[in-house]
Amino acid sequence: MKNLLFFACLLLPLGMHAQQEEQRINDLLSKMTLEEKIGQMNQLSYDRSGDLDAGIRSGQIGSLLNIVDPAEVNRLQAIAVKESRLGIPLIIGRDVIHGFKTIFPIPIGQAAAFNPGIVEEGAAIAAAEARSMGVHWTFAPMLDISRDPRWGRLAEGLGEDPYLASVLGSAMVRGFQGKNLSDNTSIAACIKHFVAYGAAEGGRDYNSTNIPPYLMRNVYLPPFKAAVEAGAATLMTSFNDNDGIPASGNTFLLRNVLRDEWKFDGFVVSDWASITEMIAHGFCADPKEAAMKATNAGVDMEMVSRSYIRNLPALIKEGKVSVQTVDEAVRNILRIKFRLGLFDHPYVDVAKPSVLYAEAHLKAAQKAAEESVVLLKNTGVLPLNNTVKTIALIGPMADAPHDQLGTWVFDGEKARTITPLAALQQQYGQQVKINYEKGVAYSRDNNTSGIAAAVKAAQSADVVVAVVGEEAILSGEAHSLAAWELKGAQKQLIAELKKTGKPLVIIVIAGRPLAIQHELDAADAMLYSFHPGTMGGPALAGILFGKVAPSGKLPMTFPKEMGQIPMYYNHNNTGRPFRGNETMIDDIPLEAAQTSLGNSSYYLDAGAAPLFPFGFGLSYSTFDYTNLRLDKTTLKQGETLTATVTLKNTGSYEATEVAQLYIRDLVGSIARPVKELKGFKRVALKAGESAEVSFTLHTDDLAFYGIDMKEVAEPGAFKLWIGGDSNTKLETGFTLE
């Protein structure tokens, strides 16, 4: 009884609060004219034309994006609050994707850290900086699962795995939104792009996707569901059509799934003009039909294409859109404006001391960058020791302050970037001579005239550190690549450096997995750093000299060849799985009989294995996983199971390992993946130290949408692994009753 009373006392205020909140919304709604309601559904991009003032004053504009001048925000907000009839404040949006001024690694890089804490901290810092400049709402996190390195926007995502994206996406939502949306260090998150945008056919941005229902439920929707459960305030529809239905007109996804099943109570915003782009899709005949389909499907706010403000009055008069539908959309928008505290505190406190680039922010960005770096190869040349007296620092990305920040950086400033060159000079310039040569001016540059000087610098060095990769513009929105090797003359630069015979450390700074087989073969060590942001230089310098050991793990599979795409670890087994002993193209005898090679799923010229599997990453130390055991081998529905492994740092460096837990549901009502990540933990160990690392699984963690399209953990046998990447062989098993 006592407990009941306790919880009633706890929940009662929450319930009352929700009731009061809805009361405030309904009170305001009841005073609004139809035009004012439609005005709330209209978002425009800020421009200096001066036309916006009148629209705000007349209540025709409910939101602006792309304004980051606090004084101007306050001026426009004052028009909304003091001069419009009902004084409804604007909500100001901005793409604060991986930092506002202090730029963190691009999200795919943050995902490589396998650290929700670092992601949450980064989002919280971005929120504090953005809100201080008048931004109330960011269009992040991007939760689009991507299995295709051709797609440039994977840079903004959290990789190929639904579990990793769910954990990190939720952490980002919590970071942006903080404890209370109305705090002046919080901003509303916007989970995007709903949904399956990352499955664009051919990796070509904006292209159609064809994700069938089971795959939609088991791979592409889970990160969004997790983020809604984490309290995401808003959601953005995607540009793609899925099986012919553009996301901004997809009633099933926006109403049946998002509202009815998930009880989402925030608001839905379209992507930039994605509503009127339904005309180009051939799904709508004109802006009026687009407005009708999007409103009825459940898109509450239209980003910049003005079809709502221009057509909804007529659509309502013609009975094609109901006032109830408009009221619901406006309620959703007002709910978030109230939660943001905009009615009570509409203005930015411009007198507040600046938090931009605060020391603590820069430190956190450096830590995130350090943890996001993945060591792919090391023959022992790293970490550099005090025998190294001269470094030849070579490459177009060694001192590229703009490009190091990566894609989707609107407000970060290259002047604040600390590059590898600057960091090495600042931190190690006393103990080591650093000879710097670009070799190639920028990542696409085919001009080889600088290679000779680079080779010369290499010849007189103890070690060569070549920093190559991609300019920021080569990833991100609309930046798909059909060939994904190092561009320009970078490959030639590496080949010439290799010829010097000097120890060669290659650092790749890029926005996607690249085809790096040749460079990997040439390297004595390779570090992969997805555009690491403002503090990427100090992070990489510290790793080169062993101040911190690399701990990153790949959040995406690295295929060997483009032709292997799509390639991802959590694939189905097929009826003829790759056995591993297949005949490869160079070993096929002449006039081989048609069926002599066996029939299994692989490429004659590239096999079936990637260059690096999901979850892969080396360290300066080595780790040993032994003694994997379960607290039970038979599980009943609703129970939990604990898996424990002994993890030992068998090397000579203090280092952090990301232990990963995978399962396989051996038989399901539909075929299940050969492995699924269901847990990961960062474990710091001193040299020689061991730890017992445990993971607890609940039967809910085993559930999936099966043949009946119900989310169920089906009885049967499971395999379970714990290891340092998705290829781990340390295996055990259990049965679910």
**Binding stretches for ligand GLC (CB under 6 A):** 95, 139, 192, 271-272, 477
Q: How many CA atoms lie within 13 A of 190 on its CB side?
A: 24
Q: Which two tokens stand for residue 125?
A: 């810092």
- Paired strand residues for 44: 64
| DSSP per residue, 367-418 | HHHHHH-EEEEESS--S--TT--EEEEESTTTT-TTGGG-SS-SS--GGG--
Query: Smaller CB distance to ligand GLC: residue 265 or 477?
Result: 477
Q: How far is the CB of 66 from ligand GLC (least distance, A)?
A: 7
Q: How far is the CB of 376 from ligand GLC (least distance, A)?
A: 30
Residue closest to 471 by CA, chosen among 440, 449, 499, 497 = 440
Q: How far is the CB of 478 from ligand GLC (least distance, A)?
A: 8
Q: How far is the CB of 273 from ligand GLC (least distance, A)?
A: 8
Cα distance between residue 292 and residue 310, in whole Å: 11
Q: How far is the CB of 477 from ligand GLC (least distance, A)?
A: 6
Which residues, at least 6 apart from 138, have a Cβ–Cβ distance to it below 8 Å? 93, 94, 95, 96, 97, 126, 127, 130, 176, 187, 188, 189, 190
Cα distance between residue 674 and residue 714, in whole Å: 16
Cα distance between residue 636 and residue 639, in whole Å: 6
Crossing angle of the two packed helices 420-428 and 536-544, in degrees rounded to 10: 60
Confirm if 110 and 163 have CB atoms less than 8 A apart. no
Cα distance between residue 432 and residue 462, in whole Å: 10
Distance from the Cα of residue 479 to its chain's centroid: 16
Residue indicated by tokens 């025998």: 387
In single-letter form, the type of residue at position 484 comes to W
Query: Smaller CB distance to ligand GLC: residue 192 or 217?
Result: 192
Cα distance between residue 614 and residue 60, in whole Å: 48
Q: How far is the CB of 271 from ligand GLC (least distance, A)?
A: 5
Confirm if 301 and 268 have CB atoms less than 8 A apart. yes
Cα distance between residue 273 and residue 206, in whole Å: 13
Residue closest to 303 by CA, chosen among 54, 559, 45 = 45
User: What 8-state DSSP symbol labels residue 473?
Assistant: G
Question: Which helix or strand (DSSP H or E) is residue 501 part of?
Answer: none
Q: How far is the CB of 236 from ligand GLC (least distance, A)?
A: 6
Confirm if 465 and 394 have CB atoms less than 8 A apart. yes
Query: Smaller CB distance to ligand GLC: residue 241 or 665?
Result: 241
Q: Which two tokens stand for residue 276?
A: 């009127």
Query: Smaller CB distance to ligand GLC: residue 247 or 398?
Result: 247
Cα distance between residue 222 and residue 201, in whole Å: 21
Question: Which helix or strand (DSSP H or E) is residue 138 part of?
Answer: strand 137-138
Q: How far is the CB of 192 from ligand GLC (least distance, A)?
A: 6
Confirm if 335 and 21 have CB atoms less than 8 A apart. yes
Cα distance between residue 322 and residue 326, in whole Å: 7
Query: Smaller CB distance to ligand GLC: residue 139 or 612?
Result: 139
**Given the residues 95, 148, 205, 271, the one annotated as active site:** 271
Q: Which two tokens stand for residue 248?
A: 């901004």
What three-state secondary structure class fits 135? Answer: coil
Query: Smaller CB distance to ligand GLC: residue 198 or 450?
Result: 198
Q: How many CA atoms lie within 13 A of 461 on its CB side?
A: 30
Q: How far is the CB of 724 from ligand GLC (least distance, A)?
A: 34
Q: How far is the CB of 262 from ligand GLC (least distance, A)?
A: 21
Query: Smaller CB distance to ligand GLC: residue 420 or 476?
Result: 476
Query: Smaller CB distance to ligand GLC: residue 104 or 139?
Result: 139
Cα distance between residue 545 and residue 538, in whole Å: 11
Cα distance between residue 631 and residue 101, in whole Å: 48
Q: How far is the CB of 205 from ligand GLC (least distance, A)?
A: 9
Q: How far is the CB of 157 from ligand GLC (least distance, A)?
A: 11
Query: Smaller CB distance to ligand GLC: residue 95 or 676?
Result: 95
Query: Smaller CB distance to ligand GLC: residue 407 or 564?
Result: 407
| Catalytic residue flag (residue 605) | no
Cα distance between residue 161 and residue 662, in whole Å: 12
CB closest to ligand GLC, residue no: 139
Cα distance between residue 91 and residue 84, in whole Å: 15
In single-letter form, the type of residue at position 524 comes to D
User: What 8-state DSSP symbol labels residue 216?
Assistant: I
Query: Smaller CB distance to ligand GLC: residue 272 or 578?
Result: 272
Cα distance between residue 599 and residue 576, in whole Å: 7
Cα distance between residue 539 and residue 519, in whole Å: 22
Query: Smaller CB distance to ligand GLC: residue 192 or 367?
Result: 192
Query: Smaller CB distance to ligand GLC: residue 271 or 657?
Result: 271
Cα distance between residue 495 and residue 444, in whole Å: 16
Q: How far is the CB of 349 from ligand GLC (least distance, A)?
A: 26
Confirm if 417 and 404 have CB atoms less than 8 A apart. yes
Give the residue numbers annotated as catalytic, written as ranges. 271
